[in-house]
Structure 1
Amino acid sequence: MSEKVNHVGLAVADLDAEAGFWIGALDFERVGALDADDEATGQLLQMEKPGLRAVYLRKGEFVLELLQFRGAGVVERPTRVMNEPGLTHLSLNVANLDTALEQVKAHGGEVLEDTRLWNVAVMIRTPAGQLVELLVGFETPTNDLGE
């Protein structure tokens, strides 16, 4: 029934800072923006006067939609943990972990050093708190592993 994945949305408090992080630290490309109509957007998202502003970022075929709700504001929550139901993290391949982590720190991200597995994998948090896994030389499994 569905044709393809269109995008993944990520709500943020500071749209410019978060877009700058994804572009500067993780090499995403800005491909568009949207200042949405409150009536139609409010109906779709079940919000009253959302004041939605969005920026679209691309990496290969993947599109990330960063959403800032200027009208509805931001609901503060505790730091998301991996076993909380819902989207847990995004995973990106990088050529060199140390170089990638320097870029993460330089653009306001947090490296979760205690998650580092050698020079192969580590978790980071974006300025908005989104978990991102950085991997070196690992491809998505195409068969069952570890069974």
Structure 2
Amino acid sequence: MEITFNTPALLFPAISLLLLAYTNRYLALAALIRKLHDEYMRGEKNHLLVKQIKILRLRINLIRWMQAFGVFSFVCCVLTMYGVYQQWKVMTELAFAISLITLLASLVISLVEISQSTRALEWELSDMEELEGPGFFKNLFKTERE
């Protein structure tokens, strides 16, 4: 396969949009953490607060890794373009492969973060419904007879 300037250039807008989405998730989490902190300082503690704090800490770390892999993927795309410019075939192919792999890692971590977010929302819903929510997959395969 011949890698040209156009090959890594295709990833530039995708990676940029992903990084923007990751930043938005981070900012939303930061706002939520600040809100929970204010509630905690006012003494408005509920039984879900400890669970929420653990999930939020995990989600912040996941977003950090999502962003890091996304940025590294972007850097590898730039290195790929430089390799094409210098006509370094092996370095170009290696940098592009690493770029794709790190982009994939970023997306997989994003999926894990989304599942953690969903889990936290299920706790909130179960608290409002006064029952434990069965979760997404149990509802997915649930028949109407049950």
Assess same fold via TM > 0.5: no
TM-score (norm 1): 0.26
Higher radius of gyration, 1 or 2: 2
Structure possessing the higher relative contact order (Cα contacts under 8 Å, 6 or more residues apart): 2
TM-score normalised per structure 2: 0.26
- Bigger fraction of residues in helix: 2
Kindly indicate which of the two structures has a greater share of residues assigned to strand: 1
